[in-house]
Structures are given as C-alpha cells and as structure tokens.
Amino acid sequence: MKKITLILALALFSCEKEEVTPTAEAPITTVEDCNCDRVVSSSSFNYPDGSSYGYWSTVNDCTNQTVNGQWSSTSGQTKPVVGTCK
C-alpha cells in the first residue's frame, strides 16, 4: 500500500504545467455572397421505381433567412449538395 501511495504522490508532483501562449494569427475573413442561399441540409429517399425525392434547407448568410423545400428526380431535379448555393 505504501508503494502505491508513493507512486501516486510522485506522479502528481512530477508533472509540470505547460504554459500555452496564443500566437498572433491573421484574422480569417470570409466574403459573404448575399445572392447565395447556402444549402445546409439535404436528404434523399428512393422509390422502388428508381426515382428519388427529398428535402433541403438553405440559409442566406447576409440575412440569416432560412428556406426549406423539396426536390424530386421525377421533376428533373437533383439532390442539392450541402455547402453549395441554391
């Protein structure tokens, strides 16, 4: 029991706290495209005949307006890709 206590005591006191100083980095700037409704989510479901349909959500980064909608391959539409403009 004394050995375990001694090992634990040595382990606790032998550790050093590392000081982390933040480095100065250039600020990241992003250009907002107010004409872009960015796709934030997209889902798809398949019909037995091979066609598919689903739902999507977009957000405009300038206005924070969110729009939800549906898509269908039978209407000639394709599944929206997350991160692209709609």
Mean pLDDT by 10 residues, the chain (86 residues): 66 63 66 86 94 95 93 92 91
The contacts of residue 11 (CB under 8 Å, 6+ apart) are: none
Given this model, what pLDDT does residue 70 score?
95
Given this model, what pLDDT does residue 29 score?
60
* 3-class DSSP assignment, residue 81: coil
Q: How many angstroms separate the CA atoms of 53 and 59, rounded?
A: 21
Given this model, what pLDDT does residue 86 score?
86
Given this model, what pLDDT does residue 33 score?
81
DSSP string for residues in 19-67: P--PPP-PPP-----TT-EEEEEE--EE-TTS-EEEEEEEEETTT--EE
Q: How many angstroms separate the CA atoms of 2 and 17, rounded?
A: 26
Given this model, what pLDDT does residue 11 score?
59
